Structure 1
Amino acid sequence: MTIPDDLTGSRHLVDAEIAPLLNVFPPLALAPETLAAVREGQAAPVSDAPDPQTLFPDITTTETLIPGFEGDPDVRVLHYEPKDRTAPTGALVWIHGGGYVLGTADVDEILCRRISTETGATVVSVDYRLAPETRAPGQVHDCYAALRWVHDNAEDLGVDRARIAVGGASAGGGLAATLAILARDRGEIPVSFQFLVYPMLDDRTGTTVDSAPHAGEFIWTPGDNRFGWTALLGHRPGEDDVSPHAAAARVKSMAGLPPAFIAVGALDLFLDEDVAYANRLLREGIPTELHVYPGAFHAFDLVADARLSQAYHRDFLGALGRHFGA
């Protein structure tokens, strides 16, 4: 599908190396009547997809069902660890994206293997329940169950309890931020770092708060955003009583939250909310690394060989490596 230039007000701002993705990535146009078809399409096998084991052979993968949060159903996790580990490692509880309504832990296998290979960390990827079948806070409770499992089984997993980080992309980044807040509020499990990739933090974006003028035209739109938040919350987003355990931007105080890495594209719908969240962390004195990539729309790193994507990979792997001591 080709998108005519005269119909795309921000197309001229898109980085030239990632722009071709817009010709092949169909609009999601999420709605109650399209959700099942979109899920089915995303679950379809890709014939020329690279083999994760071939790309990163020095990582073992284990699928495990762990106890859910306070009587919730068991949670499926994928556990990645280096084969040649000789000492306790850091750990990353990783949370996939999908607007709270799409995706599985399996889609990020290559990314999780890469993180484990290049930082030496153990990665536990959470297959949390999706909305609208499960409403908030069910998703963050599944992620908390995974965080607790890593913490409680640190010796058996070969993990250093002082270096357990949380992270995710898009909705997964939003869940990682809410997970850090939930962990702080419960005071049971320390989180050492929050790794937030174009995180979906604020239900008010595109509803009661306008996005940046050139943001949100591609890949993830205001319409998709309203659908995702409505599915998660069970009501219209932007209302007054939304919990920070559902939308991290609603948190009253940043005090006590862990250091953060935040990355977002300048054309991403989440630009303003992500920059605002970084600024709030910084004003609280929380070490925060913020990257805004010019010409980048949501999920721009799908074009892995673009120089912009390579810069992003250097930035995030560098931040994780420094935190884990790689």
Structure 2
Amino acid sequence: MIDPTADTKLFRLARRLPDNRLGLGIMHLNNLAAKWGKLPEDLLVETVYIPRPPEIGKGNIRTLVIKPRQMAGKLPIVVHFHGGGFAIGTPEQNYGRAARYIAERPAIFVMPDYRLSQRHPFPAGLDDCYETLLWARDVAEQIGGRSDQLFVMGESGGGGLVAAVAQMAQDRGEVNIACQFPIYGMFDDRPENFTDCDPANLLWSRGKNILAWDMYLRGRATADCAVPARRASVAGQPPAVGFVGDQDLFLDENIAYFERLAAAGVPTTFKVFEGAYHGVEVIAPQSDSAQAMWAFSLKAFADAVDTYTAAQPNALP
């Protein structure tokens, strides 16, 4: 059963979107509408363009940098990847999310407009996210950030990118992540590992998930860092914070991934919320389940800021 306070008109409309490109397109248009949202007056947003190295593509990665207008000392940097099944979305849709975390603990949010899989399959979006992480490492001091507190965060498809970026960072040894926040992450492409929930309770359905993975992978499921859940070992990963609702298609894969992290000795903070569906804190922010999620998430973020640091191996002077 879903949380009755979260059974809103918007939820009932959203779950009826078709499991095809049209359905994803409508969701994308809704995300684009978030660009008209405004940040609180005490926050400043700057747009930067990070050049792509030739080996990953042409052009620049449009990236938002959000930080307090008044900064006392160096702040943690959160490199944030928006959700949308790798296929849709925009960093602007997370203005409100960034503002809430910054109000809890002052921080700098760096949010790339990474390439989307409908036109650019794996590894394009992942490469953009990783390149943004390297950029944040290199300019940490210049933008007022702490080079020893570099976090990665994202929800849904963005959570999957968080896990993949953390794996890539471990493999390449170029950058150290102090803590990762893969929130109700999209970790596993294998349908047998999807949670068997009542379809009527799924905002992100089985059909949409299969379509999204197909567009992203294009037959490359076993490529390095393509599917986080397929990785043979997760030992040596940075500390991880996450949560998921029990009415979410990603429930089982999130439980499994965090159990693997914990079993490998990785410090983990993880919680399952009863009655919560995918993205409930966005669709029904005043609901009981959304409020519980926010209380947990903000405290976990504050605890991570107060606890975790990681020196950078190759930061520029």
TM-score by length of 2: 0.89
- 1:315 to 2:296 alignment: yes
1:114: Cα distance to partner? 2.1
The one-letter code sitting in structure 1 at the alignment partner of 2:299 is G
Aligned-residue sequence identity (percent) comes to 31
CA distance in 2, matches of 1:318, 1:38: 30
1:320: Cα distance to partner? 1.2
Give CA-to-partner distance per residue, 1:141-180, whole Å, 9 cap, x none.
1001110111001110111111100010000000011011
Give CA-to-partner distance per residue, 1:64-114, whole Å, 9 cap, x none.
111224452311111011122121111100010011111111111111122
Give CA-to-partner distance per residue, 1:211-251, whole Å, 9 cap, x none.
2344784210110000000000113xxx8x52352211111
Larger relative contact order (CA 8 Å, sep ≥ 6) = 2
Q: Which residue of 2 aligns with 1:97?
A: 83
1:280: Cα distance to partner? 0.2
The DSSP-based 3-state class of the residue aligned with 1:296 is strand
1:269: Cα distance to partner? 0.1
Gapped runs of 5+ residues in structure 1?
A: 1-12
CA distance in 2, matches of 1:37, 1:267: 22
Q: Which residue of 2 aligns with 1:243?
A: 223
Two-structure CA RMSD over aligned residues (Å)? 2.1
Q: Which residue of 2 aligns with 1:174?
A: 160
Q: Is the 8 A contact 1:268 1:297 kept in 2?
A: yes
CA distance in 2, matches of 1:259, 1:45: 31
Q: Which residue of 2 aligns with 1:275?
A: 255
The DSSP-based 3-state class of the residue aligned with 1:167 is strand
CA distance in 2, matches of 1:177, 1:156: 27
The DSSP-based 3-state class of the residue aligned with 1:17 is helix
CA distance in 2, matches of 1:82, 1:257: 30
Q: Is the 8 A contact 1:215 1:267 kept in 2?
A: no
Aligned pair in 2 of structure 1 residues 110, 37: CA closer, same or farther (>3 Å)? closer
Gapped runs of 5+ residues in structure 2?
A: 308-317
- 1:114 to 2:80 alignment: no
Give CA-to-partner distance per residue, 1:237-287, whole Å, 9 cap, x none.
xx8x52352211111111111001111000100000000000000001111
The DSSP-based 3-state class of the residue aligned with 2:111 is strand
- 1:24 to 2:13 alignment: yes
Q: Is the 8 A contact 2:154 2:162 kept in 1?
A: yes
Aligned pair in 2 of structure 1 residues 34, 180: CA closer, same or farther (>3 Å)? same
Aligned pair in 2 of structure 1 residues 244, 296: CA closer, same or farther (>3 Å)? farther
TM-score by length of 1: 0.87
CA distance in 2, matches of 1:94, 1:76: 13
Q: Is the 8 A contact 2:181 2:240 kept in 1?
A: yes
The DSSP-based 3-state class of the residue aligned with 1:256 is coil
Q: Which residue of 2 aligns with 1:9?
A: none
